[in-house]
Amino acid sequence: MNRKQIEQEWEKLRSLSIKDRPQIDGHYPSDIVKRRELLLIAQVYLSNLINAKNKKNRSLEKLESKIYHKIMSRYFSWNTYEKDPPKI
């Protein structure tokens, strides 16, 4: 990913964090909590990707990018994973 793409991903994460927030005052439903955890994990890997890019470590950059995309893929296909979770 180049810097512009990374910035776009940060914007996407920010908007998803706001959009996915339930309008309730009580406890969040467990599925919302799990989806929001995925967004937090994605933020960590996106930060790691920036660090790898700054250190010019191509192999680490590639790894962090791959993990980030897998997490976001899982986030966007949540209903599929919820019915048939992947075996890790």
Instruction: Look at residue 85 in the predicted model and tell me its pLDDT.
Output: 57
- Residue 65 — φ and ψ, nearest 5°? -65, -45
Tens digits of pLDDT across the chain (88 residues): 888 999 999 999 999 888 767 777 778 788 888 888 999 999 999 999 999 999 999 999 999 999 999 999 999 998 776 655 555 4
- Say if CB 46 and CB 68 are below 8 A apart: yes
Q: State how far the Cα of 12 lies from the Cα of 68, in Å rounded to an integer.
A: 13
Instruction: Look at residue 21 in the predicted model and tell me its pLDDT.
Output: 72
Domain residue ranges of the chain, discontinuous segments joined by +: 36-82
Instruction: Look at residue 19 in the predicted model and tell me its pLDDT.
Output: 76
